[in-house]
Structure 1
């Protein structure tokens, strides 16, 4: 029990020490993982588990969308993109469409990479691990 508490505490500290940009990147990485897993599970005909993975990915996209500061024009564009991804994830879930999931995965990766680049530019010391 003591080790579990230590693990949880170190995990909490690691998350709290991340910049906002790094948190966004971690969220995209988790969405990516869930979409990949959903694709695999659909192919294995494990529909209930794939449904749960897609639901988790949708929850992440919703969290990203809710975190936007709508006073900036880029936020309006990201809002539209997140709504599109959310809707298409739902469509892929209903239709068990692995190709659509792969297409969405590509879009999620592009967004993640864009945020990684922005994080490097806005926080160069942190990006080098200093």
Structure 2
């Protein structure tokens, strides 16, 4: 029997034990990672690498969008922003445009940083 990849086992376990808040943070971080990899693909003129990673970033934005709790007013604003970012990622993929990818990345970095602050505030209030 083959030995399982220890990193894959750790990654799976960290996802299975993560809170919903931690999963959202992981999605933001994954999106940033895939945008960075897509930009490298564009620099390398590796169209397949760029496409694959932009699609992964699109999938993450889509996941963030469909899991919004629409009982909150802010969710309506986030839905519009996620829709916009998804469209921009499609444009970036069609044009293989790093400027568009940078624009999307700036939004996602801001979302991630704000989410981290919200998580820290929530922890303070609980404990």
TM-score (norm 2): 0.90
Give distance in 2, aligned partners of 1:47 and 1:8.
Answer: 27
Q: Which residues of structure 1 form unaligned runs of 5+?
A: none
Match of 2:72 in 1: 72
Question: Which contiguous aligned blocks of 4+ residues in structure 1 show a shift greater than 6 angstroms?
Answer: none
Aligned residues: 126
Q: Mapping of 1:2-81 within 5 angstroms?
A: 3-4=3-4, 8-81=8-81
Q: Structure 1 pair 106/5, CA: closer, same or farther in 2 (3 Å)?
A: closer
Q: Which residues of structure 2 form unaligned runs of 5+?
A: none
TM-score (norm 1): 0.88
Match of 2:108 in 1: 108
With a CA cutoff of 8 Å and minimum separation of 6, indicate the structure with the bigger relative contact order.
Answer: 1
**Residues 8-27 of structure 1: per-residue CA shift (max 9 Å, x gap):** 54433321221211110100
Name the Cα RMSD after superposition. 2.0
